[in-house]
């Protein structure tokens, strides 16, 4: 069963790298947000530095949620999801594979890039690394939330609206905690509690959401 899970993860990662869009478009979105928001604000370097953590986190959120409708739809359309549901592999583990793929394809890469893009916002590298650690802790939760939105979008013709209504509110606490951790470090306050809270949210999301998503997918397959 572990081999099947690894095969699913490898298959989706290869597809993302082969198509390119699954990797490069989230990175392009991230870079676009980091560049355009400061341009819209104006040439206030001190202000850029103050709001840099929020800009980086907003970039992560929107980049991870860029292709929610493509998380499960290809497998549903080509019949792969039906075969997986009929196999011995629990559907929850299939969902976990999707969360892992989304996190590796977007969350992990954005975590690595965040400190360097923070330099464009006049954010010191050390502070950027703290921001990166908070993204590392919180992005798995965002990946799980994104997969929840992707699952909902598979069975409703108003899926895009439902995805927005559900996904964005769930991501707000993560955005707040992630930004607070960097602000706390910048002010000389303890930042680790915020990172630990993000880690807890990620663990809870990875543990709970696959069951909700698998129930949604089973409902789709039964229709």
Of all residues in the chain, what percent carry a pLDDT higher than 90?
A: 48
Lowest-confidence pick of 63-77, 137-151, 176-190: 63-77
Cα separations (Å) of 178 from 44, 48, 129, 195, 223?
A: 23, 17, 12, 7, 40
Q: Do the beta carbons of residue 217 and residue 148 sit within 8 Å?
A: no
pLDDT over 60 at 157, yes or no: no
Average pLDDT of the residues of the chain: 87
DSSP for 30-49, written as a single string: HHHHHHHHHHHH-S-HHHHH
What is the Cα–Cα distance from 189 to 156, expressed in whole angstroms?
Answer: 46
Indicate the pTM of the whole model.
Answer: 0.91
Angle between helices 45-64 and 21-41 (to 10 degrees): 150
């Amino acid at each position: 069963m572990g081999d099947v899970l690894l095969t699913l993860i490898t298959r989706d990662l290869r597809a993302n790298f082969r198509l390119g869009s699954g990797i490069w478009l989230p990175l392009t979105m991230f870079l676009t947000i980091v560049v355009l928001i400061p341009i819209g604000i104006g040439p206030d370097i001190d202000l850029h530095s103050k709001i840099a953590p929020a800009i980086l986190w907003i970039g992560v959120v929107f980049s991870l949620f860029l292709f929610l409708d493509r998380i499960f739809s290809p497998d549903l359309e080509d019949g792969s999801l039906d075969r997986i549901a009929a196999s011995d592999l629990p559907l929850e583990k299939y969902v976990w594979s999707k969360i892992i793929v989304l996190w590796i394809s977007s969350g992990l890469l954005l975590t690595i890039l965040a400190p360097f893009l923070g330099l464009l916002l006049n954010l010191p590298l050390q502070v950027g690394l703290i921001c990166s650690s908070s993204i590392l802790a919180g992005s798995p939760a965002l990946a799980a939330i994104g997969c929840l939105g992707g699952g909902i979008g598979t069975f409703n013709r108003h899926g895009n609206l439902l995805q927005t209504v559900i996904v964005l509110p769930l991501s707000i606490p993560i955005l707040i905690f992630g930004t607070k951790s960097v602000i706390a470090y910048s002010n000389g306050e303890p930042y680790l509690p915020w990172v630990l809270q993000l880690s807890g949210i990620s663990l809870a999301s990875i543990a709970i959401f696959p069951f909700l998503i698998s129930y949604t997918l089973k409902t789709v397959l039964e229709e």
